[in-house]
Each structure stands twice: as C-alpha cells, then as structure tokens.
Amino acid sequence: MRIDIAPILAAFDDALALIEDGEQRARLERVLRAAAPAVEAAAVGLVRSAAAEVNDASGGAVRAEVVHTADGPELRVEALSPMEPSSSAPDLEFDASEIERLTLRLPAELKEIAAIAAEQAGVSLNAWLTRVVSQEAGRRGRSSRYGRDRGDHDRGDHGGSQTLKGWIG
C-alpha cells in the first residue's frame, strides 16, 4: 500500500479557498507545498510506528514494514508461518542434553491444525511446537511486563513451577 500524502495536502485546499486575498493565498499555498516533505516524513513515521505495534502484537504471525520504492514509501504486510523467523519472536537456545517430557492436552481440532502447520513447515509436530513455544517465550522474556529475563531462575511463590498465560502461536 503506497503511503500517499496527496489527500492530506488536498484537505487544505478548501481552507485555502476561503482566503480572499489572492496574494496571501498564494503565499500560504507555497508554505504548504514546501512543508510536503515534512508532512510525508511525519506520515511515514506514523505508519512505521503502527507497523512496529502490529509486529509486536501479532506474536510473529505478521510482518509489517515500511519500504521505500521508486514510487515512494509503501506499507507492506505479510502473514508468516509459525516456523518462519520473526524479528519480534526470536528463537531461544537451549541445552539439548536437558530434554524433559511433557504431556500436552489439546482439543483434537487444534492438534490437527498444528500437525498440518508442522507438515507444511517440513518438521515434526514436536519440533514445530517446540519452535512456537520457544518464540513465544523469547518474545515474552524480553517484555518488561513479565519482569524476568532468561537468566532469572527465581520461582517466587509458584512452588517451583512457572505458568505462561494467554495464546501461544
């Protein structure tokens, strides 16, 4: 989607038409046209901030970015597969010698959806689930909202266990 500021600048035309003095109107039109690059920079900055918010909120399911093309700045949005790397959901690295077994209960339909996604990514269901959980834990681990980084092993009052709340993936 091209980021076009022409409609923003055109919105001032009605207001400029109200100025009866032609010379004064011409001066204000020149000021408005001279401000066009700054207006475009502000619009691109606003769209770039919105894209970053979308990336953070999507948990790696979407990549939104502003790119500059020959035709001007554009917003590009792309849906990502859960196995595709995302800047907002990094893979965490773990010691492969410390593998633990986990029984996971899922609704049959959700398991089928996950199995299809794993197959499309060319990996086992276990590898796919491990990657999705790793990305979500990495994203949340960086968030000040949760107040812990990867090296913090203080279990607080949770009796030795931790709980992730919310949707993963």
Number of domains in the chain: 2
The answer to whether position 159 is within a domain reads: no
The answer to whether position 123 is within a domain reads: yes
Cα Rg of the chain, angstroms? 25
The answer to whether position 161 is within a domain reads: no
In this predicted structure, what is the pLDDT of residue 154? 44
Q: Tell me: do 86 and 14 sit in the same domain.
A: no
The answer to whether position 1 is within a domain reads: yes
Domain boundary among 60, 80, 100: 80
In this predicted structure, what is the pLDDT of residue 147? 47
Q: Tell me: do 142 and 120 sit in the same domain.
A: yes
pTM of the model: 0.46
Query: What's the count of helices (H) and strands (E) in the chain, helices before strands?
Result: 5, 2
Q: Tell me: do 91 and 68 sit in the same domain.
A: no
The residue range of the domain holding 67 is: 1-80
Q: Tell me: do 100 and 114 sit in the same domain.
A: yes
The answer to whether position 41 is within a domain reads: yes
Residues 6+ away with beta carbon under 8 Å from 125: 111, 114, 115, 118
Q: How far apart are alpha carbons 134 and 150 in whole angstroms?
A: 12
Q: Tell me: do 62 and 23 sit in the same domain.
A: yes
In this predicted structure, what is the pLDDT of residue 21? 93
Low-confidence spans in the chain with pLDDT less than 70: 81-96, 139-169
Q: Tell me: do 1 and 70 sit in the same domain.
A: yes
- Mean pLDDT (the chain) is 76
Q: Tell me: do 101 and 143 sit in the same domain.
A: yes
The answer to whether position 164 is within a domain reads: no
In this predicted structure, what is the pLDDT of residue 156? 44
Domain boundary among 54, 80, 106: 80
Domain boundary among 80, 115, 136: 80
The answer to whether position 165 is within a domain reads: no
Q: Tell me: do 13 and 62 sit in the same domain.
A: yes
Q: How far apart are alpha carbons 156 and 161 in whole angstroms?
A: 9
Q: Tell me: do 57 and 20 sit in the same domain.
A: yes
